[in-house]
A and B are shown apart, each in its own frame.
Chain A
Amino acid sequence: MSIIVNTREMEYIPEETMTQLLKRMKYMFPLVVVKIDGVVIPRVEFPETTFPDGVNIEIIHLISGG
């Protein structure tokens, strides 16, 4: 029972939402772009988004400056 988050293996927690996963990973919610198995998840859907065991999640973290 595990998921891949940014190439790292993490424990899979059934029913965990994307918002909860971001909190577990200590990512700041407004500063990321999230893909589940290559599909972009709109931020407004994070609180309701759950995912099955074994998925590959990419969390792209942005840092200010330009």
Chain B
Amino acid sequence: MVTTMNKTPEDISNTLGTATVGIAGAGGLGSNVAIALARAGVGNLVVVDFDSVEQSNLNRQFYFHSQVGMAKVLALKENISKACPDVNMLAINGRLELGAMTVPFTDVDVVVEALDSAETKAQFIEETLLKLPNIPLVAASGVAGIGGGERIVQNNSGKLWMVSDPEARSSDEDVLLAPKVGLMAYWQANIVLELLLGTNKNFDEKLEGNN
């Protein structure tokens, strides 16, 4: 079998198995991006979050009731290992400090922005584009709400790929629930696979430009 990407399933599995993806945040976006990538065969993950699992997270985040109170990155590592024991996940239980937000991600192949507040998202995107100019970054914006799936779009500008619902309300003014958060997290993961496999047209051109 040769897939639509002109790669055999073995090629795909080899490439993904040796890849490393950095994920900033292990909430609704990050925990779901992580499990999607692990199931798809990405071999190495670096996940950073300072939070603990709360009861209120269970409506959308990849955690279980018995894990309430546990550090999110440790709970996530446990959950991923149950589904995908071969995945190597580096769990960093700490805050991303302004000015040093990219430190955990200097050696990854793709970075995923999976943070919560708009201000932190903007700071992280700015810092990553400036400090890691050669590493693709996949971000998401507008995950709150129900429905509106037809508004979700994927945009690219340089090394930044965005999954966004430009008309969504902020999470202070609307609900965060599994379906829409999950849609956008899995959409981010889908872009990550494209980037890792070099099947994203824009990414290919950039790679050729570098050679």
Chain A residues at the B interface, C-beta cutoff of 8 Å: 30-33, 35, 38, 40, 42-43, 58, 60-66
| B181 x A65 contact (CB < 8 A) | yes
Q: Is the interface of A mostly helix, strand, loop or mixed?
A: mixed
Chain A-chain B contacts (Cβ-Cβ < 8 Å), number: 82
Q: How far is the CB of A2 from chain B (nearest CB, A)?
A: 20
Across the two chains, which residue of chain A brings its CB closest to B174? A65
| A65 x B122 contact (CB < 8 A) | no
Q: How far is the CB of A21 from chain B (nearest CB, A)?
A: 16
B114 located at the interface, meaning its Cβ lies under 8 Å from any Cβ of chain A in the complex: yes
13 CB contacts below 8 A, A to B, read A40-B126, A43-B126, A60-B157, A60-B160, A63-B118, A63-B165, A63-B169, A64-B170, A65-B171, A66-B28, A66-B29, A66-B114, A66-B116
| B116 x A65 contact (CB < 8 A) | yes
| B122 x A31 contact (CB < 8 A) | yes
Query: CB-CB < 8 A to A43: which residues of B?
Result: 122-123, 126
Chain B residues at the A interface, C-beta cutoff of 8 Å: 25, 27-30, 114-119, 121-123, 125-126, 129-130, 139-144, 157-158, 160, 162, 164-166, 168-172, 174, 176, 181
| B144 x A33 contact (CB < 8 A) | no
Query: CB-CB < 8 A to B168: which residues of A?
Result: 63, 65
Q: With A and B bound together, what is the CA distance between A12 and B119 in angstroms?
A: 28
Q: With A and B bound together, what is the CA distance between A43 and B118 in angstroms?
A: 14
Known: A65-B142, A66-B28. A35 touches B130 (CB 8 A): no
Q: How far is the CB of A47 from chain B (nearest CB, A)?
A: 15
| B141 x A63 contact (CB < 8 A) | yes
